[in-house]
Structure 1
């Protein structure tokens, strides 16, 4: 089965623009993989969003008005642009990121009873209404089978740790500060124990959103990358329980400080008891965590035929300088 990635960032470039990498493209009516652009079952035309946000000032993704959430802010902008009611938009996010957690590749979908000839105008209008810490990176048409949450094959999260005696003030909202010198080698050794299919009950907090969550998740990779003083933990899995990533990171931090050995990971996993993990580590703070990208079944990312071209934003240009020379 082939997967396609939504929201995977290009290599960090402070002067570059944010770009989305997907294996889908705008396919015409002659493409054998294209499907007709038609209303999704009983709902209307379906549209996919890729959203980036700084979660510092928000109470996560999931809808609530006070304190504000990302979904609430995005819905208000969509209501103004589409002139539809919230109940008609059916906005759904792929991942219900927690309070203070960031995203570069959050994916969501919404529906409208009407089609669009062009997506650039609605894209520009949405970003014009949204606050500066939330941006829609991409808008594209979606086939009826696509579902931002249930079509997900895997999610990729990064957790950043600034490992130096003095914290970099420019990293303070996006990286956890560890003044203790961390041993990245033993952290890598410990992270390998998370890879594979396991019952992660010991690494999950109780959530009011999931009444009967499946505790068995498949972790495809868990890397520990050193970038100078910055330590980046990269984890990809089929899905994650509430606070699972932050709890895994918290244990790796203790192992990196060499307070406990790497082989404690399988021991705690085997207990399936959250209280066992609490003996060694508390949950890592949310601000170091970022939802980087989401992978989907490639067939669900095929664009319908006769649909508008996907919008990645538009450049503005000036034909000539209007300022006088001095």
Structure 2
């Protein structure tokens, strides 16, 4: 097979990287590894002749058609699986997944979107003089709008092969001890919803009770096998209007920032806030659910997944780069997607106005565009509902199962 060749860049790259033949861990010996085909024509041994560098990629995606972000999901497609297909197709990967020191900031669930997800991994580079140990700190990355001279335009190359609902929006060189998960200082989510007849003032009062460090075991889907500490720190909470209205209803967004989140935590918190906004629960139910003496979570449905967006992941000193060409192409792509979805909305609106009028001409007062109902008479107070097993009960059941095995 012919050896892949890269043209010598006119200008040398700045910052970090790693010369060919070096592994990402000091405990591994350098040298050529046995070729492992990835896709037809992909020869890892030949690819190992190229230098590589450790980078962070900022990713956005519209999650509706994906079974979550993580490649380990039982169903396909996932966002991560599509990203790795693109990385292999563009021959940016060197070696297999165990050698690229891969990490992700968050594992969004089925249907959840992101505009600021971050992943980190080793990628092929054009640069020959990059520091072999990636000692560079992200704090000193120059603020260049056109990327780095002579380096691969990672944003442009990957966006050229990714599906239209996934886009890379920036990249940044990072040190070898960087972890997209553990180096993250905070994560911020937005949850969009229609105002309908919700009492936003009461919702905001209740939401402020969530700020601070609390035990959120009653606001998540408990995983007693992997998670043993349910204390998390919420830094901020706010509700604000968006620039959109429909049939007299204003679109709003709940914005929540925290150091880390439990499984389904945001959707559980939003579900309880909707009950409070409808007058079905009082704000004091937040205090009761945060009370560590409330060991068992009441049974309730989470808020729908589609309106939830991972807005941003905060890291110290990272400045993501995007070339002018890649940035312009990204802007045009997103603008076209916005236009397309507005056209689709116009078609549904036309059907609503012209073809499917309600027989009595009245609104359905029991329906809600936020995926919850307003039937006050049938509402069972949260603290009076059937409960799920406590963490201690789940652990005891697991230990019993181990003894029987």
SS in 2 for 1:276: coil
Over 3 Å counting, the alpha-carbon distance change for 1:73 and 1:109 in structure 2 is same
2:56 alignment counterpart: 48
Over 3 Å counting, the alpha-carbon distance change for 1:137 and 1:161 in structure 2 is same
**Which shifted more, 251-260 or 211-220?**
211-220
Q: Map of 1:71-220 to 2, 5 A cutoff? A: 71-81=80-90, 82=92, 84-87=94-97, 88-112=99-123, 114=125, 116=127, 118-119=150-151, 121-164=153-196, 181-207=197-223, 211-220=226-235
Check whether the contact 1:205–1:274 (CA below 8 A) recurs between aligned residues: no
In the alignment, is residue 58 of structure 1 matched against residue 66 of structure 2?
Answer: yes
SS in 1 for 2:153: helix
Over 3 Å counting, the alpha-carbon distance change for 1:130 and 1:273 in structure 2 is farther
Matches of 1:273 and 1:142, distance apart in 2 = 43
SS in 2 for 1:194: coil
SS in 2 for 1:287: coil
1:240 alignment counterpart: 261
Over 3 Å counting, the alpha-carbon distance change for 1:254 and 1:119 in structure 2 is farther
Higher-strand-fraction structure: 1
Over 3 Å counting, the alpha-carbon distance change for 1:189 and 1:314 in structure 2 is closer
1:223 alignment counterpart: 238
SS in 2 for 1:79: helix
CA positional deviation for 1:147: 1.2
1:19 alignment counterpart: none
Over 3 Å counting, the alpha-carbon distance change for 1:129 and 1:219 in structure 2 is same
SS in 2 for 1:248: helix
Over 3 Å counting, the alpha-carbon distance change for 1:254 and 1:294 in structure 2 is same
Check whether the contact 1:90–1:110 (CA below 8 A) recurs between aligned residues: yes
CA positional deviation for 1:86: 3.8
SS in 1 for 2:180: coil
CA positional deviation for 1:163: 2.9
CA-atom RMSD in angstroms: 2.6
Q: Which 5+ residue runs of structure 2 have no aligned equivalent?
A: 1-12, 19-23, 29-51, 128-148, 330-405
1:37 alignment counterpart: 16
TM-score by length of 2: 0.58
SS in 1 for 2:176: coil
Bigger RCO (CA 8 Å, 6+ sep): 1
Matches of 1:207 and 1:130, distance apart in 2 = 33
Matches of 2:228 and 2:71, distance apart in 1 = 20
Check whether the contact 1:219–1:238 (CA below 8 A) recurs between aligned residues: yes
CA positional deviation for 1:290: 0.2
Over 3 Å counting, the alpha-carbon distance change for 1:95 and 1:295 in structure 2 is same
1:5 alignment counterpart: none
Check whether the contact 1:191–1:252 (CA below 8 A) recurs between aligned residues: yes
Cα deviation, 1:159-186, whole Å, max 9, x if unaligned, reads: 001234xxxxxxxxxxxxxxxx100000
Aligned mate of 2:312, from 269, 288, 293? 293
Matches of 2:103 and 2:310, distance apart in 1 = 16
